[in-house]
Chains A and B, each alone.
Chain A
Amino acid sequence: MTLFGISSQALFGQLLLGLINGSFYAVLSLGLAVIFGLLNIINFSHGALYMIGAFVALLGLEHLGMNYWAALVAAPVVVGLLGVLIERTMLKHLYKLDHLYGLLLTFGLALIAEGVFRYYFGVSGSSYAPPEELQGGVDLGFMFMPLYRGWVVLASLAVCLATWYVIERTPLGATLRAATERPLLVQALGINVPVLVTATYGVGVALAAFAGVLAAPVIQVNPVMGSNLIIVVFAVVVIGGMGSIAGSIVTGLGLGLVEGLTKVVYPEASAVVIFVIMIVVLLFRPAGLFGKQA
């Protein structure tokens, strides 16, 4: 069977692959959206923290014999604590200043992190094997689906939904949102707003580390893996609407699919299609697809 001259087999295969990539975009852009939406910080170090997450898994395996499942918990904790440290020592001084300062600081931190890892590990990086339980794959008829990739989609969706639920549907989320809208008022009600803010940043970057561990068995773990991805993820956030939690999840998955389709039709354009969409969206809806119009 063919659709528009493309075999349905190729189409389904590419759509599924698009969904897998979209899952990575969703988790990463979700972290960015949480940090921007609640803290008003454009976290340019997100890609570097994603890379550090992958390295925690790799180094944990090499030096401590830590397996994949342990890494999936340990890396977000380690990177989350690193985030807390960054927030407490550096970012908290910038909240009253223009967004640009936060962006510059986190961009500088990303460059430093990449440089340090490149110095010690080189750019070629190392391979990280998928866990034994998820090695191999199933033949879906239209394509061979590695089990691990299936797990990536499920794990990402679960984490995205859980994060969305906590922020949008629980009392804790309500407090968080209130604390960002009216910090003084919330503080007057006896809630420790600075701690909330620090914790939020920690959780946001922990999401990046989680994505890093998810990606480790799929792509080579190297110091530039984050910078390759971060620009696309920023485009996803801009298209979804800066700070919109649900927007970043839906757009992440959707753009993964669009990219997958482009790879069937005209592979050369697959690297730019997301940016073309970004331009179009910005022209007609400057606040993004799911953003609140200013």
Chain B
Amino acid sequence: METRVKFKCLAIAAATAALLNPAQAQISDNAVRIGVLTDLSGVYSDVSGKGTVVATQMAIDDFVAKERPSFKVEMVSADHQNKGDIAANKAREWFEREKVDVASELVTTSVALAVQKIAKEKNRIALISGAASTRVTNEDCNDVTVHWTYDTYAVANGTAKAVTKTGGKKWFFLTADYAFGHSLEKDAMEVVKANGGEVVGSVRHPFPGSDFSSFLLKAQSSGAQIIGLANAGGDTINSIKQAAEFGVTPKQSLAGLLMFITDVHSLGLKVTQNMYLTEGFYWNLNDETRAWSKRFFDQHKRMPTMVQAGQYSAVMHYLKAVKAVGTDDTAKVMAQMRKTPVNDFFAKNGTIREDGRMVHDMYLLQVKKPAESTVPWDYYHVRATIPAAEAFQPLAASKCPLVAKK
């Protein structure tokens, strides 16, 4: 009799303990580990790079200070050198051995595609901020990946539509000859044609390049009004610089289909003035963005790019979701992240769709003339806010199997 009572007591105690303390037990080794896998040394290191590590640390510090979580939050970072295989190996090592819960940033399409696949295989989360290709949320989509900041559709759509509608009907494309460039070119061409424009030619240049004069000469003789630059980073910078040198501009106008504030900063306003571009974030939008960006500037000595601001937003959203569900279980955290709208300095009422696309407002910007810029890094006029619903590829056009199933 006595043993039976003892057994009952023990059973009740065990059951109560299990009921009362579910959250603590479910965060693996009571720590959430965020991996920042980015380009720390190559062509995209200004756009993402160390700045995204700074942004991640800011997100973690802010989260810990404000939310006082019962678990630890740690960050690891690594340089993927823009190579898919290096990124894949690192992500595997992080997931398998270092108990990393989420791989984030992942600039460069090849890196993003490789890591999102491994995240699925290992049932961890991939938060993509820097990579551009729409493939992430189309052919290659999965239910553990979120594409946060922008994609080729969003930036091409914004700029190409605005320029075509304001009279730039005849386009010539200067395209970087790799997956990203092709994707950007295709997205932009469709927008140009859909808005009554015409594509008079295109040329593909080797990546990376430093001399674009030959290609610009072709663009010059094509009779196009607008030269669409379907490239990025140093290629875009040198294209713009040399277009001015060869007298291509201002007779013909350039449209940078993927440009960042760091590109404008390095070229200066004299050569970039009046160019249109589309970004997901600009530091000088409102008091909230200015306040955050100033804190970022104090640490990094440069204003944030959209990739860096988006990285903060993504990490913060993830950490809040972990706290809310009390676990770092992938499915539960993903469900919570989808359920909760993103509301911070970066996005207002942003939502994560079933294809993994975080949709939020984008901004159509025009580069200021040198005389119009009043403070350092004051580079843009905000010409339009492109509402979330229009900014990204509509779900109806999605090639993502997760969407098609519905």
Q: How far is the CB of B80 from chain A (nearest CB, A)?
A: 15
Question: Distance (Å) between the CB of A61 and the closest chain B CB?
Answer: 13
Interface residues on B, range: 35 or more
Q: Quick check: is B46 within 8 A (CB to CB) of the other chain? A: yes
Q: Are B217 and A10 in contact (CB under 8 A)?
A: yes
Is residue B237 contacting chain A, with contact meaning CB distance below 8 A?
Answer: yes
CB atoms of B221 and A146 under 8 A apart: no
The reply to whether B218 and A148 form a contact with Cβ atoms under 8 Å apart is no
Is B263 on the interface with A (CB-CB < 8 A)?
A: yes
B46 near A122 with CB under 8 A, answer yes
- Judge if A39 is at the interface, Cβ distance under 8 Å: no
Question: Contact partner of B43 among A18, A21, A224, A264, CB < 8 A?
Answer: A224
Interface-side segment among B3-11, B56-64, B125-133, B242-250: B242-250
Binds A, one of B153-161, B264-272, B286-294, B386-394: B264-272
Contacts of B238 in A (CB 8 A): 219-220
Interface residues in B200-252 (C-beta closer than 8 Å to A) = 203-206, 208-211, 213-215, 217-218, 220-221, 233-234, 237-238, 241-242, 245-247
Beta-carbon contact of A115 and B214 below 8 Å: no
Stretch of A180-188, A205-213, A266-274 contacting B (4+ beta carbons < 8 Å): A266-274
- Say yes or no: B214 contacts A263, CB within 8 Å: yes
Residues of B within 8 A of A71 (CB): none
Surface stretch bound by B, among A123-131, A169-177, A239-247, A281-289 = A123-131
Q: Which residue of A lies closest to B262 (CB)?
A: A124
CB contact under 8 A between A137 and B206, given known A124-B266, A127-B266, A127-B271: no
A264 to B241: give the CA distance in the assembly, Å. 21
Decide yes or no whether B42 CB sits under 8 A from chain A.
yes
Contact A229 B206 (CB under 8 A): no
Q: Would you give the shortest CB distance from B42 to chain A, in whole angstroms?
A: 7
B204 and A267: CB pair below 8 A?
A: yes
Judge whether B217 and A13 touch: CB under 8 Å: yes
B177 within 8 Å of A (CB atoms): yes
Q: Who on chain B is nearest to A228 by CB?
A: B210
Contacts of B247 in A (CB 8 A): 137, 144, 146
**Chain B contacts for A220, CB-based, 8 A:** 234, 237-238, 241, 266-267
Q: 1/0 contact trace for A100-140 toward B, CB 8 Å?
A: 00000000000000010010001111110010000001000
Interface contact A224-B234, CB-CB below 8 Å = yes
Chain A residues positioned under 8 Å from B267 (CB to CB)? 127, 220
Q: State which residues 355-379 of B face A: CB under 8 Å.
A: none
Count chain A CB atoms within 10 A of each CB in B41, B177, B209, B245 and give the residue with the most: B245
B30 close to A (CB within 8 Å): no
Q: Is B45 an interface residue (CB 8 A)?
A: yes
Closest to B220 in A: A144
Contact with B along A161-179 (1 / 0, CB 8 A): 0000000000000000000
Q: How far is the CA of A13 from the CA of B218 in the complex (A)?
A: 10
Instruction: Write out the residue numbers on chain B whose beta carbons fall within 8 Å of the beta carbon of A17.
Output: 211, 213-214, 217
- List the A residue with the shortest CB-CB distance to B215: A267
Is A85 interfacial (CB 8 A cutoff)? no
Does B204 lie within 8 Å of A115, measured CB to CB? no
- Check B217–A118 contact: CB distance below 8 A: no
Q: With the chains together, A268 CA to B178 CA distance in Å?
A: 10
Given A123-B45, A224-B234, answer yes or no on A218-B221 (Cβ-Cβ < 8 Å). no
Q: Given A10, A218, A260, which contacts B242 in the complex, CB threshold below 8 Å?
A: A218
Q: Which residues of A contact B234 (CB under 8 A)?
A: 123-125, 220, 222, 224
B301, closest chain A residue (CB): A122
Q: Chain B contacts of A224 at CB under 8 A?
A: 42-43, 234
User: Does B245 lie within 8 Å of A146, measured CB to CB?
Assistant: yes
* B236 CB, min distance to chain A CBs, angstroms: 10
A225 at the interface (CB under 8 A from B): yes
Q: Mark B35-57, 1 if CB is under 8 A from A, else 0.
A: 00000011111100000000000
Instruction: Confirm or deny: A8 has a beta carbon within 8 angstroms of a beta carbon on chain B.
Output: no
**Binary per-residue interface labels of chain A (223-264) against chain B in the complex, 1 for a CB within 8 Å, 0 otherwise:** 011001100000000000000000000000000000010011
Residue pair B246, A9 in contact (C-beta under 8 Å): no
Q: A137-B246, A267-B205, A271-B206 are in contact. Are A124 and B217 (CB under 8 A)?
A: no
**Given contact pairs A10-B217, A218-B245, A228-B210, A118 touches B41 in the complex (Cβ within 8 A):** yes
Report the separation of the CA atoms of residues A229 and B241 in the bound assembly, to the nearest whole angstrom.
18
The residue from A10, A123, A268 contacting B206, defined by CB atoms under 8 A apart = A268
Interface string of A187-200 (1 = CB under 8 A from B): 00000000000000
Residues of A within 8 Å of B262, CB to CB, are: 122, 124
Name the contact of B177 in the complex, choosing from A9, A18, A118, A268 (C-beta under 8 A). A268
- Complex CA gap A229/B205 in Å reads 16
- Which residues of A have CB within 8 Å of B237? 124-125, 220
A94 at the interface (CB under 8 A from B): no
**In this complex, which of A14, A17, A123, A228 has the most chain B Cβ atoms within 10 angstroms of its Cβ?**
A123
CB pair A228–B41 under 8 Å, yes or no, is: no
User: A267 and B213 in contact (CB under 8 A), knowing A124-B46, A124-B265, A228-B208?
Assistant: no
> Would you call A229 and B210 a contact (CB within 8 A)?
yes
Instruction: Look across to chain B and name the residue whose beta carbon is closest to the beta carbon of A267.
Output: B203
Chain A residue at minimum C-beta to C-beta distance from B208: A228
Known interface pairs A124-B265, A218-B245; 17 further A-B residue pairs with C-beta atoms within 8 A, sorted by A's residue number: A10-B221, A13-B217, A17-B211, A21-B211, A122-B302, A123-B45, A123-B234, A124-B234, A124-B237, A124-B263, A137-B245, A143-B217, A149-B213, A149-B245, A220-B234, A220-B241, A270-B206
